[in-house]
């Protein structure tokens, strides 16, 4: 019996862009306790767009049931106090699924966020979401020359666009990611 591909594997092979990019979508981001396979999600943020306009927002701290390392607190500003007593992943996940509906998801370095969500779903014995995913790292590389911005990390792109959002907080990162996506949508015809 062949093992089903993970969401991460599906994402790697999915065509991330098409002639007609969605105008209705969800931009989402996670903040985590680290980047290892044992890391846990501590915040999910998402912004719903209809015709490229914000119509709703979702933000929730998640109790990772482990200690938030000090370097993560320094990076994100999220403390153990912030997540202590917050809902655990499976409680937030249902709310997140209701929020995203069947809209396409947009994320920066989407493979990481999708893999984190998939890991949490597996641990909680929950089905992963089936929404299509668009990775803005790929899109940024197509329309913003590296010589113009140095690299395509979200914090660098934030500076490139002159945005003043707080880095490494889920909703603020969603705002930057949305700017990258919308810039791509507006400029892809010049490729």
**Strand, coil or helix: what is 130?**
coil
- Where along the chain do its domains lie? 24-190
| Per-residue confidence (pLDDT) for residue 167, from 0 to 100 | 76
pLDDT per residue rounded down to tens, the chain (191 residues): 334 444 444 444 344 445 689 999 999 999 999 999 899 999 999 999 999 999 999 999 999 999 999 999 999 999 999 999 999 999 999 999 999 999 999 999 999 999 999 999 999 999 999 999 999 999 999 999 999 999 999 999 999 999 987 778 999 999 999 999 999 999 886 54
pTM of this prediction exceeds 0.85: yes
pLDDT of residue 4: 41
The alpha carbon of 68 is separated from its chain's Cα centroid by a whole number of angstroms, namely 20
Quote the pLDDT of residue 190.
Answer: 52
Q: Determine contact, residues 109/133, Cβ cutoff 8 Å.
A: no
Helices 89-100 and 110-123: crossing angle, nearest 10°? 130
Round to the nearest angstrom and report the end-to-end CA distance of the chain: 43
Per-residue model confidence as pLDDT tens digits over 43-82: 999 999 999 999 999 999 999 999 999 999 999 999 999 9
The overall average pLDDT reported for the chain is 90
Region of 125 on the Ramachandran plot (φ > 0 left; ψ -120 to 50 alpha; else beta): left
| Paired residues of 58 in beta bridges | 46
Yes or no: domain 24-190 corresponds to CATH 1.10.10.10 = no
Taking a C-beta distance cutoff of 8 angstroms, is the pair 153, 30 a contact? Answer: no
Cα–Cα distance measured from residue 63 to residue 90, given in angstroms and rounded to the nearest whole number: 10
d(CA 34, CA 24) in angstroms, rounded, equals: 31
Given this model, what pLDDT does residue 168 score? 82
């Amino acid at each position: 019996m062949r093992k089903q591909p993970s969401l991460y594997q599906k994402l790697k092979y999915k065509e991330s862009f098409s002639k007609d990019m969605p105008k209705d979508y969800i931009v989402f981001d996670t903040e985590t306790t680290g980047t290892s396979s044992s890391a846990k999600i501590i915040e999910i943020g998402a912004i719903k767009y209809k015709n490229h306009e914000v119509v709703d927002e979702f933000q929730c701290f998640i109790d990772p049931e482990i200690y938030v390392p000090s370097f993560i607190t320094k990076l994100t500003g999220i403390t153990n106090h912030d997540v202590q007593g917050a809902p655990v992943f499976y409680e937030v996940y249902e709310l997140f699924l209701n929020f995203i509906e069947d809209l396409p998801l947009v994320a920066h370095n989407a493979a990481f966020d999708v893999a984190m969500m998939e890991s949490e779903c597996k641990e909680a014995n929950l089905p992963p979401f089936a929404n299509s995913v668009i990775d803005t790292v790929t899109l940024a590389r197509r329309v913003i020359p590296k010589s113009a911005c140095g690299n395509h990390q979200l914090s660098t792109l934030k500076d490139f666009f002159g945005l003043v959002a707080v880095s490494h907080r889920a909703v603020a990162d969603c705002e930057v990611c949305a700017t990258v996506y919308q810039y791509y949508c507006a400029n892809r015809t010049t490729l």
